[in-house]
C-alpha cells in the first residue's frame, strides 16, 4: 500500500504484545492490530494533539471508524514491542483519513500499514457532523 506523503506530523506510541494478543499461530491476531491503533490514537489525541476524546464527548461528538484498510506484512510475537505510528491524512466534511503503521520496535520493520477513515458523529442524532475548523487547526501540527 502506498501512503501519500504529507506534511502532518507522525506520532508514535509503544505497546507491549501481551499473551492474550497471541493466536493459535503463535503471533498477534489480526484483530489486535486495530486495538493497538485505537489505543495509540487515544493517547496521541490526548498527548500530542491536546484534543482528548473526553473533549469530543463533552461536546456531544464521537469518532466512528467508517472504513479500515490494513495490510499485514510481518508478524509480531509475545513480548515484542509494537511501535504504532499514525498521521492525519485528508479532511473532508465529517471525515478524516488516518495513515497508520505498526512496526516491530526491535527490527524497525513494518508489520502492518494502512488507512482508517473516521467519521465525526453527533451522539444525540447519530448523524455525521462537519468537523469544526478549530479541530482541524489543532491537528495540523
78-98 pLDDT, tens digit each: 999 999 999 999 999 999 999
DSSP 14: E
DSSP label of 7: S
Residue 51 has φ and ψ, to the nearest 5°, of -130, 80
pLDDT digits (tens, 9 = 90+) for 52-82: 999 999 999 999 999 999 999 999 999 999 9
Using an 8 Å Cβ cutoff, are 56 and 81 in contact? no
What pTM did the predictor assign? Answer: 0.91
Query: With contact defined as beta carbons under 8 Å apart, do 104 and 83 qualify?
Result: yes
Amino acid at each position: 500500500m502506498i501512503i501519500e506523503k504529507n506534511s502532518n506530523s507522525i506520532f508514535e506510541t509503544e505497546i507491549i504484545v501481551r499473551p492474550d494478543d497471541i493466536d493459535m499461530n503463535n503471533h498477534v491476531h489480526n484483530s489486535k492490530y486495530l486495538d493497538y491503533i485505537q489505543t495509540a490514537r487515544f493517547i496521541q489525541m490526548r498527548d500530542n494533539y491536546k484534543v482528548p476524546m473526553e473533549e469530543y464527548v463533552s461536546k456531544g461528538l464521537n469518532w466512528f471508524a467508517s472504513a479500515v484498510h490494513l495490510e499485514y506484512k510481518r508478524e509480531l510475537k509475545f513480548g515484542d514491542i509494537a511501535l504504532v505510528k499514525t498521521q492525519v491524512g485528508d479532511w473532508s466534511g465529517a471525515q478524516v483519513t488516518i495513515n497508520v503503521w505498526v512496526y516491530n520496535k526491535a527490527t524497525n520493520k513494518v508489520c502492518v500499514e494502512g488507512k482508517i477513515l473516521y467519521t465525526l458523529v453527533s451522539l444525540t442524532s447519530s448523524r455525521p457532523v462537519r468537523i469544526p475548523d478549530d479541530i482541524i487547526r489543532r491537528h495540523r501540527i
